[in-house]
Structure 1
Amino acid sequence: MGADAGPLRSEPAGAMPGELVVARAWKYDGGPHWVVPGTYLGADAAGHWIFQPAGAFVARPGAGFYAASDAVCLIPHQERSDRERADPEAAVRTADWVATFYDAAHPGDFRIYIDVSTAIGWRPLQPAGWEIHSVDMDLDVIRSSTRGVYLDDEDEFAEHGAAYGYPDELVERMRASAAELVTAVEGGRGVFEADPESGASRAARAWLEDGRRLASSSGG
């Protein structure tokens, strides 16, 4: 994971709207996974929001495509107090995830796609901008406009657990995080509150609009 480029940071201190953010996911064995470019939008109580525009080149080894629609990615705050972690009103207490939100412009049926992840952290880019790194732990929590909310890739999680040697403690933690996220998305808690007609997140819709305005004003 590019260890010689410096340690990862828990938060992108000083990040400004409009800055480049490159999302880099890895697998547990250190192999590269998806790389997605985007633009930093800002932060709120839920975390940091990144606009990923239609036409962005999305790639992993052996696969690549141009994004068919706009999306926003949410990276939850990694630094949380004990009080925040124990807050019963919090949408979720786990920070082991990266979520991508879509609206009706997406040609498929995804509205929320959450990658259960670990080792999430930020690193400055040169000359400007940020990378957000994460280790993808296979399990995905999805809200579909046609299938509802479901947990995906449990078979892959089991296969990679055996092949890569996932520690038992990590397996339990990722399963618990996935279960908490399923409950939160099903219940429409916090940023996962969905418009009943479109299934899109109400919070993400506002950030999508911000991203589109920013892209338009910059000529993107």
Structure 2
Amino acid sequence: MSWPRARIPAPFPADVGPAPEGIAPGDLVVARAWKYDAAPHWVVPGVYLGSDAAGHWIFQAGGAFVARPGAGFFAASDAVCLVPHQDGSASGAAGTGVSTREWVATFYDEGHPAGMRVYVDVSTAICWRRLAPAGWELNSVDMDLDVVRTAGAEDFIDDEDEFTEHSAVFGYPEQLAGSLRAAADELLAAARAGEGVFAAAERTTVTHAAQGWFDAARAAPSSNPH
């Protein structure tokens, strides 16, 4: 492994890298989350859109089947997912508006029936690997804390009780737990201030950063299921 990441128990994949070298718009991306005890978590299929200073963008279409062990549903609306650069290809994390890279964000627009706008999973060990015969797998370890924005409400941190419980049950290293708690606080402050990728003209609209990627996804025949 040529870049630092948290030590995660097996069977978290070992043949991974910090960036999807050679990925192209239209490529399949399967986002696969794990928990810190290596239990499988949510799996979400998507299509790669491209990258910018903030990171890599993935379109996750409404109607796609989203599942984890014991649960599954069809996505209620389109979403775009942002994965911050993990390989130092951007200057710090300047493109996102925050210093931490330990997160994956999903952005929604007015099509979401419950008014969800932004859902940030504080995560670690974010990495990529190729799928056979084609496509990519985005792996991450979900660390419980989420920063949430819904239409008409103040942004907040969710699942703090779960983070406290899992810190004890799973044995989160103290340094890792502290850095992720700080990451959640930084992300919440940026979201509330409307900084970087979290800037939006109104709380009832999609963020400016995501809007262009929504437009690109819906204009691309290979990405558009409607």
Name the TM-score, length of structure 2 as normaliser: 0.90
Q: Distance in 1 between matches of 2:120 and 2:91?
A: 21
Q: Distance in 2 between matches of 1:203 and 1:116?
A: 19
Instruction: Name stretches of at least 5 consecutive residues in structure 2 with no aligned partner.
Output: 1-9
* Backbone CA RMSD of aligned residues: 1.9
Say whether residues 1:84 and 2:74 are aligned partners.
no
2:109 alignment counterpart: 103
Contact residue 84 and residue 93 of structure 1 kept, 8 A: no
Deviations 1:26-59 (A, max 9, x none): 0000000000000000000000000000110000
Say whether residues 1:36 and 2:16 are aligned partners.
no
Kindly, what percent of the aligned residue pairs are identical? Answer: 57
Contact residue 195 and residue 201 of structure 1 kept, 8 A: yes
Q: Distance in 2 between matches of 1:209 and 1:148?
A: 26
Contact residue 41 and residue 207 of structure 1 kept, 8 A: yes
Say whether residues 1:193 and 2:199 are aligned partners.
yes
Give, as a single letter, the amino acid of the residue that structure 2 aligns with 1:178: A
More helix by share: 1
Deviations 1:171-216 (A, max 9, x none): 10101100110111111111111121624211101101111122x3
2:176 alignment counterpart: 170
Q: Distance in 1 between matches of 2:35 and 2:92?
A: 26
2:118 alignment counterpart: 112
Contact residue 101 and residue 204 of structure 1 kept, 8 A: yes
Q: Distance in 2 between matches of 1:86 and 1:138?
A: 22
Q: Distance in 2 between matches of 1:64 and 1:156?
A: 21
Deviations 1:71-126 (A, max 9, x none): 00000000227x93386x96011000000000000011210000000000000011
What is the CA-CA distance between 1:144 and the residue it aligns to? 1.2
What is the CA-CA distance between 1:19 and the residue it aligns to? 0.4
Q: Where does 1:128-147 land on structure 2 (aligned, <5 Å)?
A: 128-147=134-153
Q: How many residues align?
A: 216
Say whether residues 1:24 and 2:32 are aligned partners.
yes
Instruction: Name stretches of at least 5 consecutive residues in structure 1 with no aligned partner.
Output: none
Give runs of ≥4 in structure 1 deviating > 6 Å: none
Give, as a single letter, the amino acid of the residue that structure 2 aligns with 1:85: G
What is the CA-CA distance between 1:169 and the residue it aligns to? 0.4
Q: Where does 1:48-59 land on structure 2 (aligned, <5 Å)?
A: 48-59=56-67
Name the TM-score, length of structure 1 as normaliser: 0.92
Give, as a single letter, the amino acid of the residue that structure 2 aligns with 1:164: F
1:181 alignment counterpart: 187
75, 81, 84: which is aligned to 1:67? 75
Contact residue 84 and residue 90 of structure 1 kept, 8 A: no
Q: SS at 1:196's partner residue?
A: coil
Q: Distance in 2 between matches of 1:172 and 1:112?
A: 23
